[in-house]
Structure 1
Amino acid sequence: MRPAVSDLFSKTAEELKQTFDKKFFQRAKFIPSAKKTIAIFCALKDFIYQYPLESGRETLPVGLESLACRLEEQIKNSLCFLCQEKADCARCEQNARQITQDFILALPQIQRLVISDVNAAYEGDPAAISPVEPLLCYPGVTAVTLQRMAHFLHARGVRLIPRIVTEYAHSLTGIDIHPGASIGPAFFIDHGTGVVIGETCVIGANVKLYQGVTLGAKSFPLDPNGNPVKGIKRHPNIEDDVIIYAETTVLGNITIGRGSVIGANKWITQDVPPHTKLN
């Protein structure tokens, strides 16, 4: 005899629940919503880009306040889920409110950085007819804009949400930038597909990367249990005014000196002096 449909679903649901321990389920309600987070940051990107708003500029503060309230909820969920004390604690709520306020106050500075990126893209690409073209069309500008917002939260100890944002950008643009990477002004990723920038990268001003460039880690030190050691500097430092052409791989905690030009398809694991040209 075939089992009743209700029994079938009940059995499957019970087995699925066994995947996670009880502690996970106690905290699961605090997992930030990826769908809501992506919607918030897409709207914040529009505020930074200053798209024409049909309802008029006088509604800007109201719309921004609404986004801030929604963002605070997701930040609180993230903090509570990872809290070492207990879920839904008052400290997490206070921290979420302060981080959200600091983030909103930082948006004009983030916008200035984005404008510098847009100008770098326009000035660095002879095919661009105006700065509006990279703003609206270039995947590199989109990926870096979202990363700059995510980086602010990552630098203040928020986890999960920054990765949701940058992995959304990765899926959208094919450009993978960890929210921990520190990126200076006027950063331009031309074409963009396949670019990877690791967590501890430090990138200076006026840097230009082409498609397929990897700024990655050479190796992962292991702890006594054989697990990768976390929280150490393991990615490259790219100084000001550097250009790295397509499909070049730069690995490890090394420095590409100021003003250097690295040709395509290079494998680099040692420091490069300033003003070097590798053809």
Structure 2
Amino acid sequence: MTLTKEETDRFVTVNDISLHYNEAGTGPALICTHGGGPGANAWDNSKHVIDELSKTFRVILLDLPGWGESQKLVKRNDVPLDVYVADLLRDFMDELGIERAHQYGSSQFAPGCLRFGIEYPERVGKIVVQSSEFGPHEPGPPRPGIKSLIRFAQDPTRENMQTMFEFFTPREQFRPASVIDNRLEKALAPDHLASRKEFPNAANSDLSDVLPRLEAEVLYVCGNDDGMIPVSTALDALKMIPRSRAVIWGDRSGHFVLTEHADEYARIVTDFLTH
């Protein structure tokens, strides 16, 4: 990495909400958000690929309300989460003077990027989705990985953060103590855990009926051993999204393929977005 967080830090106010983002590069805009787990933020999610992607794109790593350095305790007012995120992306782009942008969404917030493409087709280029579900919510108790997120939110200890990361990625080299400690620090930021309660994954719409309307091309990326989102969701995506394709990394790859396969991810995404 040569770009630093400090030199790329930016803030903007959208709909009276202070939003933090990092920006680098010129060219077509690529807006990258993040997942919804405790301590998630756009910089840590995408920092390993911003150098390479910013050679081709105007890369914007956006913290959604309640996460990272964006404003906390923001109210959704019962708007479905995907609709809320899509409209916020539209208004964020308006504020920055961006007419059209590629979108990258991870896990919990990827449905918002897909909703953006459905509702604002003239303003979206292509969409990259990482490890996300956007069909009917599964009945019954949550999977063990999701339980670990809930357990940490209820009892935010380092031990529970460690357990959560074991579901994120089975390979120890991608969850050293420094990564665990950094994520714990972000998760314990004032009002962050309280803010998450307003934006639960369950507040996303079931998109299965509207995804056939999506005109944008979509690339679904994931790891074969993700303990949070099963790899089978990649095949679900191919069935539901008309102009879609998927890249699945093997060798016990986990939830954060941007970290685990940064160089290859940047090459694949650049090729997808430019052809």
- With the shorter chain as reference, the TM-score category is under 0.3
Does 1 or 2 have the higher relative contact order (CA < 8 Å, sep 6+)?
2
Query: TM-score normalized by structure 1?
Result: 0.26
The structure with more strand, counted as a fraction of residues: 2
